Chains A and B, each alone.
Chain A
Amino acid sequence: MSEPLLELRGVNKSFGVAHVLHDVDFAVYPGTVTALVGDNGAGKSTLTKIIAGIYTRDTGDYLFEGNQVNVHGPRDVAALGVDIVYQDLALCENLDIVQNMFLGREERKGLLLDEVSMESRARETLASLSVRTVKSVRQSVASLSGGQRQTVAIAKAVLWNSKVVVLDEPTAALGVAQTRQVLDLVRRLADRGLGVVLISHNMGDVFEVADRITALYLGRVAADVPSKELTHSQVVELITAGRSGALGISENPATASV
């Protein structure tokens, strides 16, 4: 496997007395979908926020393309080319698709907005992702379904040449058909060479698109293995008990600490 695009090494994070992350190693490889799974409270959100630059690390390294980087906030992370698509998507419903995709980074000709260039580029990006479900790029986001909104949020990351895209529960609120579309899109992102992190509770989704699975259990990495080497029930065991056969944390920290 090639060198990771983004890598966290030995990350610890505490909030007061609560030690939320213990020596977590996490890597995202180009062209690969890495699923981040774990039960509620396992540390997925904390890890995501550390990747996003919202939380600082207590200890540990943040590497991007093999180089150690200093991350002081979300802007630094965005500048690296890491895009986080949160569950709420952060879209403006009163603006259309083009306006949303370029929000904060509008193209201009002099003082004026360059609508021609923006609309063309938005359309190209959606076309390159084989997005076929939106009627028009000038539709307001309010008129889009949940899946289409997710698509717009993901396309925004592609438009801005992000190298790593972190998707937080992208299918949680979607129906069957829309889930299908979003998963196809996730796969296509990886096929373009992006590093994709998929945070999900849905094992079906995870096994469908993920190449690697990183399971967190009570703030520790229970397993980081190719998804082919795991079965459905093994992942569930890793999530709920932190170990499964030879895999997992050798000594259960929950029982060990009691």
Chain B
Amino acid sequence: MTVETNELPEPGAPVQANAGFSGDAVHTTTLLGAFNDYVTRVRSGDMGSLPAISGLLVLVIIFSVANDTFAGRINIANLITQAGPICVLAMGLVLVLLLGEIDLSAGVAGSTGAMTAGLMIVDHGQGWAVATLAALAVGAAIGLAIGLLVARLGIPSFVVTLAFFLGLQGVMLKFIGQGGSVRFADPMLRGLAIKNIDPLVGWISAAVIVVVFALLALRTYRIQVTQNLQHPPLSLVALRIGMVAVILFGLVAFMNQNRGRIPSFPIEGVPRMLIVVVALLIFWTFVLTRTRYGRYLYAVGGNAEAARRAGINVARIRTSAFVACSAMAAISGMLLAANTGSISTGSGGGNTLLYAVGAAVIGGTSLFGGRGRAIDAVIGGLVIATIANGLGLLNNASWINYVVTGGVLLLAASVDAISRRRRSAAGV
């Protein structure tokens, strides 16, 4: 820090609004510069999803080497449908974690929603659309109750949602009956897990997403340059577009090959569940980064008192986050039910929630609030699903699965805590 001299613009000098403060770096000029900035950020504790992505790579390599079937097309399709419910639930949890809260009931709330959908179809003969709406409504109602108790009464979310975790299991037991289960056989909903997108539709969807993403990214870049705003180097924008294109086209190309064992009955295409995950990912990324509501979520999570003074209705934002989280949980519960084909009294309990919290945190969402993205949840969900899937293939006893997943969650939380400390030390 240097001592500032109070210099005024020379008389007659044109007042250039954008040239006003000399230290303002509008752009990093090169890809290398952007990379160096990134390295600096990572070293000062702002790691984002770097640990998750590198962890995912390591896991994929280990499991591919250890087991021949892991990287096969059938198993990757399996992995996607396994990861789907975790990713969706984790995306919902990100909203609550952003506020520095927790929702321990999300897994069970999701299965309660799915049970509602199942009962609507089986007992009341409703179509999948009505059943889905009912599940979402049940999820949102549970979230509203939790949110009001947390935001208005001021009970810690940990306690409220623990109570709902127990209570909702009782509700499911009442409706399903001891040891019973509800079939989840609606062709549309069940199809999310067992059917695939037509290969051609897969190609077209991937192309549309890539083109729209590229156009939006380039448009933003052009505006930033013409308005002299802070912007990344063009090469970095191009790199991002390229990465999205490679991942999407690569996935479609891989999944569009026949993976059926019977030659006359080909199984090909991307599992339908991926549409739901990608659509929700785009939706929540948009909400969190481009809308006022998303900004307020971050603000309340960062400094609730500052948000309150800025005129933000903090209680309403809190409540809404729990509503959105439980509604997302309902979608996740239905995806889980689509995978297994039924809902039993134990659905959504056990490690469902732990997986989702682990996914969000591993992806780079902070447990302390104020930091997190929708993509974190998806990347973290892939890590968790890969662990569960890979360990399963290695034929290990399920106790190893529990221990490893618990260990990974603890590791991710430690990384979060340490990087938070480094951030506050480095002031990033």
Q: Is the CB of B24 within 8 A of A136?
A: yes
User: Of residues 50 to 79 in A, which have CB atoms within 8 Å of B's CB atoms?
Assistant: 74-75
Contact of A132 among B21, B223, B428 (CB under 8 A): B21
Stretch of B182-190, B309-317, B410-418 with 4 or more beta carbons under 8 angstroms from chain A: B309-317
Which residue in chain A gives the minimum CB-CB distance to B226? Answer: A116
Q: A73 CB to closest chain B CB, in angstroms?
A: 11
Q: Is the CB of B428 within 8 A of A135?
A: no
Q: A185 CB to closest chain B CB, in angstroms?
A: 9
- Is A225 positioned at the interface, with any CB of B under 8 Å from its CB? no
Taken together as a complex, chains A and B put the C-alpha atoms of A88 and B303 apart, in Å, by 11
- Is A104 positioned at the interface, with any CB of B under 8 Å from its CB? yes
- Is B198 positioned at the interface, with any CB of A under 8 Å from its CB? no
- Is B421 positioned at the interface, with any CB of A under 8 Å from its CB? no
- B17, B26, B302, B423 interface centre (most CB from chain A within 10 Å): B302
Q: Is the CB of A91 within 8 A of B17?
A: no
Chain A contact residue count (CB 8 A cutoff): 51
Interface bits B1-16 vs A (CB < 8 Å: 1, else 0) = 1111011100000000
Taken together as a complex, chains A and B put the C-alpha atoms of A108 and B292 apart, in Å, by 8
User: Of residues 88 to 102 in A, which have CB atoms within 8 Å of B's CB atoms?
Assistant: 88, 90-95, 99
Taken together as a complex, chains A and B put the C-alpha atoms of A228 and B25 apart, in Å, by 41
Stretch of B83-91, B144-152, B293-301, B323-331 with 4 or more beta carbons under 8 angstroms from chain A: B293-301
Q: Is the CB of B291 within 8 A of A180?
A: no
Q: Is the CB of B1 within 8 A of A133?
A: yes
- Is B370 positioned at the interface, with any CB of A under 8 Å from its CB? yes
Taken together as a complex, chains A and B put the C-alpha atoms of A99 and B296 apart, in Å, by 10
Q: Is the CB of B302 within 8 A of A138?
A: no
Q: Is the CB of B25 within 8 A of A113?
A: no
Contact partners of B371 in chain A: CB under 8 A? 94
Q: Is the CB of B17 within 8 A of A94?
A: no
Chain B contact residue count (CB 8 A cutoff): 45
Contact of A135 among B24, B424, B426 (CB under 8 A): B24
Contact of A126 among B20, B292, B309, B312 (CB under 8 A): B20
Q: B294 CB to closest chain A CB, in angstroms?
A: 8
Contact partners of A92 in chain B: CB under 8 A? 298-299, 302-303, 306-307, 370
Q: B407 CB to closest chain A CB, in angstroms?
A: 28
Contact partners of B307 in chain A: CB under 8 A? 92, 103-104
Stretch of A14-22, A28-36, A141-149, A196-204 with 4 or more beta carbons under 8 angstroms from chain B: A141-149
Q: A135 CB to closest chain B CB, in angstroms?
A: 6
CB within 8 Å for A120 and B227 given contacts A103-B307, A143-B428: yes
Q: Is the CB of A180 within 8 A of B3?
A: yes
Which residue in chain B gives the minimum CB-CB distance to A145? Answer: B1
- Is A39 positioned at the interface, with any CB of B under 8 Å from its CB? no
Q: Is the CB of B24 within 8 A of A134?
A: yes
CB within 8 Å for A142 and B299 given contacts A103-B307, A132-B22, A137-B24: no
Which residue in chain B gives the minimum CB-CB distance to A89? Answer: B306
Q: Is the CB of A127 within 8 A of B230?
A: no
Q: Is the CB of B8 within 8 A of A130?
A: yes
Q: A149 CB to closest chain B CB, in angstroms?
A: 11
Which residue in chain A gives the minimum CB-CB distance to B4? Answer: A181
- Is A40 positioned at the interface, with any CB of B under 8 Å from its CB? no
Q: Is the CB of A123 within 8 A of B20?
A: yes
Q: Is the CB of B17 within 8 A of A123?
A: yes
Q: Is the CB of B312 within 8 A of A104?
A: yes
Which residue in chain B gives the minimum CB-CB distance to A84? Answer: B309
Q: Is the CB of B428 within 8 A of A140?
A: yes
- Is B23 positioned at the interface, with any CB of A under 8 Å from its CB? yes
- Is A128 positioned at the interface, with any CB of B under 8 Å from its CB? yes
- Is B179 positioned at the interface, with any CB of A under 8 Å from its CB? no
Taken together as a complex, chains A and B put the C-alpha atoms of A143 and B45 apart, in Å, by 12
16 more A-B residue pairs beyond the given contacts A94-B298, A137-B24, with a C-beta to C-beta distance below 8 A = A88-B305, A92-B299, A94-B302, A95-B295, A103-B307, A123-B20, A126-B20, A127-B19, A132-B21, A133-B21, A133-B23, A134-B24, A136-B25, A140-B428, A142-B428, A184-B4
Lowest 8 CB-CB distances: which A-B pairs, in order?
A: A127-B20, A104-B310, A92-B302, A94-B302, A94-B370, A90-B306, A124-B17, A104-B311
List 15 interface pairs A-B (beta carbons < 8 Å), by A numbering.
A90-B309, A92-B298, A92-B303, A92-B307, A99-B295, A113-B292, A120-B18, A120-B227, A124-B18, A135-B23, A137-B24, A142-B427, A177-B1, A177-B3, A178-B1
Write the residues of chain B forming the contact surface with A, with a CB cutoff of 8 angstroms. 1-4, 6-8, 17-26, 223-224, 227, 229-230, 290-292, 295, 298-299, 301-303, 305-307, 309-312, 370-371, 423-424, 426-428
